[in-house]
Structure 1
Amino acid sequence: MAFTAGIDAGTQSLKVVLYDATARQVVATASEPLELTSSEDGSREQHPSAWVAAMHTCFARLDAGLRARVVALAVSGQQHGFVPADTEGNVLAPAKLWCDTSTTAECAQIMDAVGGAQRTIELAGNPILAGYTASKLPWTKTHRPEAYARLASILLPHDYLNFVLTGQRFCEYGDASGTGWLDVRTRTWSKDLLRATDPDRDLADCLPPIAAPDALFPIDPAIAAQLGLSPTVQVAVGGGDNMMAAIGTGCVEEGRLAMSLGTSGTLFAYSDTPVVDPQGAWAAFCSSTGGWLPLICTMNCTVATEQVAKLFGFSTRDGDAHLDATPPGADGLTMLPFLNGERTPDLPHGKGVLAGLDPTNFSPAHLYRAAMEGATYSLKYGYDAFVRAGMRFERIVLTGGGSHSAAWRQLVADVFGLPVDVPAQAEGAAFGAALQALWASARANGDDASIADIARTHVALDPARSATPDPARAAAYANAYQRFLHYLDAVAPLQRG
């Protein structure tokens, strides 16, 4: 029996899953943690060699007999990162990541060069926000001039792993739309924005060709041997982690709403047509399946709960007990969890804020609840923009590390007033990559099944982890959310400088 593999290179770890489509089950998984280098200027970096080493480690942990049965694989990667490479594909500097806010000034410089944020949206469908790839180029030109002078290829994290696997440089529409340069309406690079990023050179020469969503590339036999894979393995195009999570949660048809609770928080919905907001209230991304994926991103989600748990010396695995011991609204304690700056709301210089402390709520349990509530309210803030634009949804499909928490699942149901479902396969991005590989491989063999057909067949829900809104708690959270918005309005002017 043949398997497909999904590789997810995230911020905190790299994961590999092997999927048996015939049995409809994941047959093996492996994970390896990744280190993040942080600096006071907002820099957040990793060296791409760490991703490659983690990939080797993960495959080495899998049974050799299972690895030998893999026929196709795909890579999911954290969006917006910048891997500078020379003509030979050698990495010239550490990769600046999605959560890197050191290039905030460069975002404004690029947009000002074309006439401001409004004009940028007209050109590409999105403003250039903190963390987007485009802003990392002028920063590198200033701070790492030697690397910039040798720059021959602009690769995203998942593009780089595809290069390692195949020896070929290519990208795909979903991840490319997170650079800030892709006009999502036409799926073409914006010459104006590329010129605004660097008027002294044609950055288009550094961008890899964009591959079709169902394209396949042969694996490099040498890397196949190192990973214990067959030299006949085919590599699908993969995509950004949110795009792959969309596949892994079945969010490949209109009317579906998915939420990922990871280091960052995301909320996304599939569309057959571009969904651009004139004010840039959401990211107007392309999907990795031929459509579009309007998306809300917050930069502080599980990072906030993990920081509180670490501070008080307990594990997030024990966090639900703290939620159970405290009431909705945390007895008036409110956290704006903007520890890494924030994208939604758009506060790249934002800092975390605790408000409403008093002797009754100054406890580890209350602070943990406030962190979880604050991360959820930030997503609700973005969801409200979807609703104002006329989007309507009946359910939320939840994925990411936070989805393992029964308390968080119930919190989401109560705050959003929608039933919550959780896929049986917890690793949404890695599983989605395995399904994309399955789809591309099937099409290459003459099967005309759509990606929606694949998702309907293989994305199963776990009814034991579903949650439905509780009216009493929902009312309490509605009041607490208004308090969150009140503090946000008060603090935002101080954090926009």
Structure 2
Amino acid sequence: MTLVAGIDAGTQSVKVVVYDAQSCQLRATASAALELISGDDGSREQHPQAWMDAVEQCFARIDPQLRQGIAALAVSGQQHGLVALDADGNVLAPAKLWCDTSSSAECEEIMQALGGAQGCIEAAGNPILAGYTASKIRWTRKHRPQAYAALATILLPHDYLNFRLTGERFMEYGDASGTGWLDVRSRQWSAPLLKAIDPDRDLSQCLPPLVSNDSSFAILPAMADRLGLSHAVRIAVGGGDNMMAAIGTGAVVPGRLAMSLGTSGTLFAYADQPVVDEHGAWAAFCSSSGGWLPLICTMNCTVATETVASTLGFSSRDGDPMITSTTPGADGLTMLPFFNGERTPDLPEAKASLHGMDMRNMSPAHLYRAAMEGATFSLRFGYDAFVAAGMQFDRILLTGGGANSPAWRQMVADVFGLPVQVPQQTEGAAFGAALQALWSLQATAAGADSLVEVVNRHVHHDPAQAHLPDASRRTAYQQSYKRYLKHLHDTHGVGGDR
């Protein structure tokens, strides 16, 4: 029996899964909640020790015999967060997270130093967004000067957990590409970006080595004892949560588009070469499977349906009858669902709006459908950018809370005109980490399976949740999507009739 484990350290919780590679079944799952430290200035922070405490809580809830049988594990972590360590490995300050917007001014300062967003894209492949780690470094220099003076090592959240597990400081290319200072084309640190962050200090001295995705490390014996694991456990390199979710859903070859319907919506796909947009329309990340992972994020997905449902006094879990009682296009009602501003398209100050209201469509069911359609059309807007860049897809791999809705799954199939599949393992990031750990056990052996072969063998989809596009509904959605684009253009000056 080969047992492997995946740890997913997210913003709200830490999850651990134990997977039996012989029976292709999860043997155990555990989770522990995390607290978020929020400030009025947009700061969102967590104490790194809380992640480690949550990992220990999760393993303590798993049967000791199972724990002793684990041969390898890997960590998936929320991207972009800054963990600053001193020379002795001590944490210097709370970790600033991906959702921290307090460093927006520093983003502009970094980009101005390179002649604007275009200069950043030319230097490393991405503009510097508030979520990325680069601005958090510059913010720390300004607002936590003592911590910055003592800074010896820059780590990301999943890197920090690897450090605690192994005693080693290292990064891998997928998560590292979310810092903003990795040149995704050459897979090397960008000297111009690092200088733009701090022209007076060589920040490359604070960066750990980059290691390949087939690397693995020994666990610290003391840490193995604390977690109830064997001293022989290997720690694979893991990666960012989107990179691990790509593995866990099967998006490791071109043509498979992963879509997550969560609070925010994401689209990402494997590419075997860098996919950089000259205008920064998407995040040009590396994958944790040896390639690249262009990614599009929308800020308003289930937040739109949840907001409408709660406002109207029902639960989104009861929303599917609302969809089935109305027709595609919501009888002319269109929502631009920008309750949180928007990233795709880039409209950080945008507000949500309703268009085309009349006596016929002002009902709870129509409003709920308009919210779901608006969230789906926002993802379609990003998808169109992928297609315009020459990317082609033959299926959508759907995850996230919204994937639990049959009506939403069918809507995605109809709006995108592609078959929809839902992975059997719902914890895509944790499961992806477990599969990377499995692959790492034999990655360097002669005749070993590739990561793609491992994924194809172990990632299965639920046939009961599969959907094919319906031709008649697809035609109706094409018309309502055009209406969405027109309102988007008229209101914000972007989009237009495609």
User: Is the Cα contact below 8 Å between 1:129 and 1:343 reproduced in 2?
Assistant: no
Specify the SS of the correspondent of 2:79. coil
Specify the SS of the correspondent of 2:120. helix
User: Is the Cα contact below 8 Å between 2:48 and 2:95 reproduced in 1?
Assistant: yes
1:182 Cα shift?
A: 0.5
1:131 Cα shift?
A: 1.0
Provide the rounded CA distance (Å) in 1 between the counterparts of 2:307 and 2:164: 34
Provide the rounded CA distance (Å) in 2 between the counterparts of 1:145 and 1:352: 39
1:433 Cα shift?
A: 0.6
User: Is the Cα contact below 8 Å between 1:101 and 1:341 reproduced in 2?
Assistant: no
Provide the rounded CA distance (Å) in 2 between the counterparts of 1:98 and 1:143: 18
Q: Does the alignment pair 1:166 with 2:171?
A: no
Provide the rounded CA distance (Å) in 1 between the counterparts of 2:390 and 2:25: 37
| TM-score normalised over the length of structure 1 | 0.93
User: Is the Cα contact below 8 Å between 1:96 and 1:136 reproduced in 2?
Assistant: yes
Matched residue, 2:50? 50
Provide the rounded CA distance (Å) in 2 between the counterparts of 1:249 and 1:111: 34
Provide the rounded CA distance (Å) in 1 between the counterparts of 2:93 and 2:371: 34
User: Is the Cα contact below 8 Å between 1:6 and 1:73 reproduced in 2?
Assistant: yes
Q: 1:53 to 1:338 in 2, by over 3 A?
A: farther
Matched residue, 2:233? 233
Provide the rounded CA distance (Å) in 1 between the counterparts of 2:336 and 2:87: 44
Provide the rounded CA distance (Å) in 2 between the counterparts of 1:324 and 1:179: 43
Q: 1:221 to 1:318 in 2, by over 3 A?
A: farther
Matched residue, 1:146? 146
Deviations 1:254-308 (A, max 9, x none): 2222112223322112121111222222221111111111221223323333444
Q: Does the alignment pair 1:330 with 2:330?
A: yes
Provide the rounded CA distance (Å) in 2 between the counterparts of 1:121 and 1:139: 21
Matched residue, 1:416? 416
After superposition, residues 9-408 of structure 1 pair within 5 angstroms as 9-312=9-312, 314-357=314-357, 360-408=360-408
Q: 1:370 to 1:449 in 2, by over 3 A?
A: same
* Structure 1 unaligned spans of 5+: none
Q: 1:356 to 1:26 in 2, by over 3 A?
A: same
Provide the rounded CA distance (Å) in 2 between the counterparts of 1:368 and 1:402: 14
Provide the rounded CA distance (Å) in 2 between the counterparts of 1:52 and 1:366: 45
Provide the rounded CA distance (Å) in 1 between the counterparts of 2:154 and 2:491: 37
Provide the rounded CA distance (Å) in 2 between the counterparts of 1:131 and 1:282: 13
**Quick one: which amino acid aligns to residue 50 of structure 2?**
A
Q: 1:45 to 1:238 in 2, by over 3 A?
A: same
Provide the rounded CA distance (Å) in 2 between the counterparts of 1:284 and 1:456: 25
Provide the rounded CA distance (Å) in 2 between the counterparts of 1:347 and 1:74: 36
Which stretch of the first structure deviates more once superposed, 398-407 or 182-191? 398-407
> What is the RMSD computed on CA atoms of the aligned residues?
2.2
**Quick one: which amino acid aligns to residue 80 of structure 1?**
H
Q: 1:46 to 1:483 in 2, by over 3 A?
A: farther
1:34 Cα shift?
A: 2.9
1:129 Cα shift?
A: 2.1
1:446 Cα shift?
A: 4.8
Q: Percent identity?
A: 68
Provide the rounded CA distance (Å) in 1 between the counterparts of 2:150 and 2:383: 42
* Structure 2 unaligned spans of 5+: none
Q: 1:358 to 1:372 in 2, by over 3 A?
A: same
User: Is the Cα contact below 8 Å between 2:254 and 2:393 reproduced in 1?
Assistant: no
**Quick one: which amino acid aligns to residue 52 of structure 1?**
M
1:357 Cα shift?
A: 4.8
Deviations 1:114-164 (A, max 9, x none): 122222111111121231111112222223333323322221111111112
Specify the SS of the correspondent of 1:177. helix
**Quick one: which amino acid aligns to residue 289 of structure 1?**
S
Deviations 1:8-58 (A, max 9, x none): 122232211111111111121122333334444333333323322222222
User: Is the Cα contact below 8 Å between 1:255 and 1:392 reproduced in 2?
Assistant: yes
Specify the SS of the correspondent of 1:106. helix
Provide the rounded CA distance (Å) in 1 between the counterparts of 2:366 and 2:11: 27
User: Is the Cα contact below 8 Å between 1:74 and 1:236 reproduced in 2?
Assistant: yes
User: Is the Cα contact below 8 Å between 1:101 and 1:348 reproduced in 2?
Assistant: no
User: Is the Cα contact below 8 Å between 2:255 and 2:395 reproduced in 1?
Assistant: no
Specify the SS of the correspondent of 1:475. helix
Provide the rounded CA distance (Å) in 2 between the counterparts of 1:462 and 1:157: 32
User: Is the Cα contact below 8 Å between 1:11 and 1:263 reproduced in 2?
Assistant: no
Provide the rounded CA distance (Å) in 2 between the counterparts of 1:36 and 1:369: 32
Specify the SS of the correspondent of 2:294. strand
Which stretch of the first structure deviates more once superposed, 385-394 or 319-328? 319-328
User: Is the Cα contact below 8 Å between 2:304 and 2:375 reproduced in 1?
Assistant: yes
Matched residue, 1:454? 454
Provide the rounded CA distance (Å) in 1 between the counterparts of 2:83 and 2:362: 43
User: Is the Cα contact below 8 Å between 1:104 and 1:348 reproduced in 2?
Assistant: no
Q: 1:403 to 1:58 in 2, by over 3 A?
A: same
Q: 1:189 to 1:148 in 2, by over 3 A?
A: same
1:392 Cα shift?
A: 1.5
User: Is the Cα contact below 8 Å between 1:99 and 1:299 reproduced in 2?
Assistant: no
Provide the rounded CA distance (Å) in 2 between the counterparts of 1:164 and 1:267: 31
Q: 1:75 to 1:312 in 2, by over 3 A?
A: farther
1:369 Cα shift?
A: 3.1
Specify the SS of the correspondent of 1:178. helix
1:430 Cα shift?
A: 0.9
**Quick one: which amino acid aligns to residue 420 of structure 1?**
V
1:228 Cα shift?
A: 1.7
Q: 1:54 to 1:339 in 2, by over 3 A?
A: farther
